[in-house]
A and B are shown apart, each in its own frame.
Chain A
């Protein structure tokens, strides 16, 4: 068990607290929404020191680069601050798994052009390319090596490209849970549980609305959630409302019910995702009560992720000319 010595986090906690007021709030989002064109919306980001500067943010489609840079900047800051990098790396592995997925899919499809990789993982994109090409897994975690081998094995037999997503997504959540449970922090354990449960709930509701069978759901279901497999099995031939009723007493009950109502009323097709994301950010807010520790750092990471998700929603909405109200309804709650 990796012990967290709170005293090591005093400087880091102070710095993060001073950074929090600089996170984008609802007034920034409102300004972006009210700006006449996407180019003007980007100005709010450059004013907020997004990315690494350097003025390469011109042109409306450059914003994706800007957002990727901002996430990278956030990870660099946290890695510098955290006395134990393992705490931050646990969250960076998401991008390792993403890169492996992209590379394996490209390989199976016989695509020669190097795909665009995320720059925020524990292994740099170019290194990852080489490692997959040369089958060199020495820097991979045990779980990741196992998952990559399984993908090759299953793909060789089934030629099913979906297997790549299925195996690596499941492996990622197993990795996240294993990484976070190895750190002595109930705050991090709660994050692992909530992310797993929320992924299961979203997957289940989507699968039910597509009328998928239990066999299909069972394949996608993650093991480490707090809602047991039995609950999903029992509801696998019932309506999603019955499922919502069954998990009423869990901490997701209220959010799922409200989310499904939003979807049914036609107001917001991604209402469930929004309500669950808001619930998650709400539980992360408990970090505000912690003066010194790992909590402020991790909360900042998720606050940044939520902020970037909102900015991406606004920018794509603006570029596609969606009405401001429609975008506003889809925005997630912010941490601050």
Chain B
């Protein structure tokens, strides 16, 4: 019996969608968290705003999770290699775009945290700037969904 069948390939797609996007989110949130901890050492009253900005890059992991969930839901034990490859391809957009956008969003969030450390009234601008990066992750999520069909 052939070890590599359609089902395994589709599972790989689910793994990529979640793992890669998840790694990106971990790095983004991690970076923003470190900068945030620095700001909070000096000014603990900023906790709410720092937490909000720090959490923004975590959405990519959630999108990756959604796609992984949808791929797993579409897996059929009898599926062909071609069908498996389709699902693998569907995992790539959110995996790769999620990875990169989460890291960059983490950087924008870290800068935003520094911004509110200096100007507490700029929380809205800081969030808006970070959300700009979010758009690409959302587009990737839509593309992945469309590919699953």
Contacts and interface: CB of A to CB of B under 8 A. Distances in A.
B111 A15 contact: no
Interface string A8-28: 001111111111110000000
A141 interface: no
B118 A291 contact: no
B39 interface: yes
Given A20-B118, A21-B117, A21-B118, A14 B107 contact: no
Interface string A266-294: 00000000000000000000000001100
Contact of A15 (B31, B41, B107, B110): B41
Interface residues of A, number: 15
A10 B31 contact: yes
A18 B110 CA distance: 12
Contact of B37 (A7, A11, A16, A20): A11
A14 B31 contact: no
A16 B42 CA distance: 8
B38 A12 contact: yes
Nearest to B106: A10
A21 B115 CA distance: 11
A14 B107 CA distance: 12
Interface string B6-49: 00000000000000000000000001001111110111001000
Contacts of A291: 35, 107, 110-111, 114
A294 to B, nearest CB: 14
Nearest to B118: A21
B113 interface: yes
Given A291-B107, A291-B111, A14 B39 contact: yes
Given A10-B38, A11-B37, A291-B111, A17 B117 contact: yes
Q: What 10 A-B pairs have minimum CB-CB distances, sorted nearest first?
A: A14-B38, A15-B38, A18-B42, A10-B34, A14-B35, A17-B114, A18-B117, A11-B38, A18-B39, A291-B111
Interface of B: 31, 34-39, 41-43, 46, 107, 110-111, 113-114, 117-118
Given A17-B39, A291-B114, 18 more contacts: A7-B31, A10-B34, A10-B38, A11-B38, A14-B38, A14-B117, A17-B114, A18-B43, A18-B46, A18-B117, A19-B42, A20-B117, A21-B117, A291-B35, A291-B107, A292-B31, A292-B35, A292-B107
